[in-house]
Amino acid sequence: MANKYTYSILNDFPYSKVDTLRLTDEIEDSSITIALDYINTSGDDCDVWFKAVLPSVDETTLSGVVSSHSGEEPDIIIPPTMSDGRPLVRADTRPLETQTYFTMYGDTVSGIGDGKALIWDFSNDDDIYDPNDFENGPAVVSGCKCKRMDVWFNDPAYLKDGSLYFQNASFGSHLSMYITVPAGSYYPNDAGSIPAAALGLPGNQMYAYASKDVLFACYLMKHHMVGDCPMGDELNAEGAQVDAIPVGWKITGIICTDEDNNNFRGFGSLEMYRAHTVILPGGAPGGE
């Protein structure tokens, strides 16, 4: 049976006014356990009807909602539109104001796509992986040798898909890929000792200092390869990252093969979303 709770608009509401739509949202977002029926106003009375009698704790909560109600209309969310005014309807995960971007190269401070390449070649001693370069780097398995590839981007990047191309992969060859915090940076870590406020950041998150590079998140764990794959081994995701990789953080690939394989080589391709894809004449970032 419905039950009514009546409040004085002039005396019970802090600004002596009521917006029934906002009040409805505030009640439904509260911890009140009984379903709201409807709200109406007449003269100085604001009647709040519930499907049943409120427990005392819910009645106290309702009084608190009333005492903090602003009486203002709810904010109107204007949906995005295309340049010609048509509504923008999308079902993909690409953040607004970003473009799809495929690459095998990272950035530099002043350039896009002219940084380090996601390429490995075990015929030389370039890019040898050393777990001591990380605070938490995985150890090299006995009988294996590993190389390390790092790329980074000079604006926020939302990682999505990828592909791997390789030749002469011996059985047991594998690749892991991580998002890496560079040495000298602070990063969220519940085991850290630095509160967000000490870094001028909001919230109660704890942070730690990276004295060496830190593997922060794993994107690909020990993806095995064997033989040749010139057409590409695709890595498909349903959607992009929710949060962009911070500027300056790296995508690190650790590629391993057996000690006797000097012919294993290959490269990786990443699909991501980012705000800028070229540098315009004069040095301004473009491609939005």
Amino acid 267: pLDDT: 95
CA torsion sign, 188 to 193 to 195 to 200? negative
Per residue in 45-62, is it b (16+ CB within 10 Å) or e — as a string? ebebebeeebeeebeebb
Give the pairing type, strands 36-42 and 285-286.
unpaired
Neighbour-count burial of 130, counting CB atoms closer than 10 A to its CB (0-12 exposed, 13-18 middle, 19+ buried)? exposed
Other beta carbons less than 10 A from residue 85's beta carbon = 6
- Two structure tokens written together for 88: 């923008």
d(CA 206, CA 97): 31
d(CA 245, CA 252): 12
Cα 191 off chain centre by: 21
pTM value surpassing 0.85: no
pLDDT digits (tens, 9 = 90+) for 221-256: 999 999 999 999 999 988 888 889 999 999 999 999
Is 222 within 8 Å of 237 (Cβ atoms)? no
Is 91 within 8 Å of 38 (Cβ atoms)? no
d(CA 279, CA 287): 8
Is 167 within 8 Å of 265 (Cβ atoms)? yes
The DSSP bridge partners found for residue 102 are 271
Per residue in 187-213, is it b (16+ CB within 10 Å) or e — as a string? bebeeeebeeeeeeeeeeeebbbbeeb
pLDDT digits (tens, 9 = 90+) for 42-95: 999 999 999 999 999 999 999 999 999 999 988 777 777 777 877 777 677 888
Fold of 99-286: Jelly Rolls (2.60.120)
pLDDT above 70 for 164:
yes
- Two structure tokens written together for 240: 């992009």
pLDDT above 80 for 24:
yes
Amino acid 90: pLDDT: 67
Listed residue (168, 172, 176) closest to 122, CA to CA: 168
